[in-house]
Copies of this chain bind each other. A is one copy, B any other.
Amino acid sequence: MAKTLIFGHKSPDTDTITAAISLAYLETQLGNEVEAVRLGEINKETAFALDYFGVENIRLVGDVSKETDTVMLVDHNERNQSADGLENVTIRRVVDHHRIANFETAEPLFFRAEPVGCTATILYKMYQENGVEIPKEIAGLMLSAIISDTLLFKSPTCTTDDEFVADRLAQIAGVSAEVYGLDMLKAGADLSDKTADELIHIDSKPFEMGKFSVQVSQISVIDVDAIMNQAKQIKAAMDAHLISTNQDEFVVLVTDIINSNSIVITRGNTPQLVENAFKVLLHNSTAELPGVVSRKKQVVPQLTAVAQSL
């Protein structure tokens, strides 16, 4: 039988890539035939982490049903964020830290979700429960994921579990979370070579909210002005995306990872989703969202609540 494929969401980020690698290592130690794969190009932050800890990038796959019957999902569960061909394979396991939606199986499976900041924090517990030692390079990748998802422990999604686990992982990996973390975040925040279309797809996820289909992207940077200087091109790229996908709304967060604020840009037929969710008035499709850094905790639930009321 073909190997079970393990993968995170499309538009992969550091947590998605490293969670696939970390779960694959754990499953292999437990005697299971698995392979970690990815559904898109890795970003600069993830490339920095893989390079720093000397771990090879994983293989890109397309329609997963063309090469296997069984898969495991990490860092996501919503089918529209997942692999092509998912409807034709059996999901054996899910490890995730997001809301659960648009997910359905015909048979029972292993499903483990916890409301923590990062998939790596749950995986750390699974290593402990199974008595499997975490290799230095895997610990480094898991630490990278926690730093990435919590913006160095500053995001409101960050829990005491995440901090505790990051501390243990930093010890195993032999790095300072603060020093290594800032270098990694800076590497990821360098978007100077990206086109407007690339910027809005670096970290981009589709959501079904009530009867609306909404794309929510996040551009995490140190220099917000450098991004906002391209606002016109970004809006044009967002409009082009909406035309090609038929989605209702495209919401882009431009997040200042140093000062923990965001600017939201929204395009589409339902800008009132953003205005009502954040009690803001849009000017030129744009508004400031002070203190907002987490799509998962500070944006998606709020947009969903408004969408369900319309």
Interface of A toward B, CB cutoff 8 Å: 97-116, 129, 296-297, 300-301, 304-305
Contacts and interface: CB of A to CB of B under 8 A. Distances in A.
A103 B105 CA distance: 11
A22 to B, nearest CB: 19
A113 B108 contact: yes
Copies in the complex: 2
A65 B115 CA distance: 22
A98 B109 CA distance: 8
A112 B115 contact: no
A75 to B, nearest CB: 12
Nearest to A129: B129
A305 to B, nearest CB: 7
B98 A108 contact: yes
B100 A104 contact: yes
Given A106-B301, A107-B301, A109-B115, 6 more contacts: A98-B108, A100-B100, A100-B104, A106-B300, A106-B304, A129-B129
Contacts of A296: 108
A115 B106 contact: no
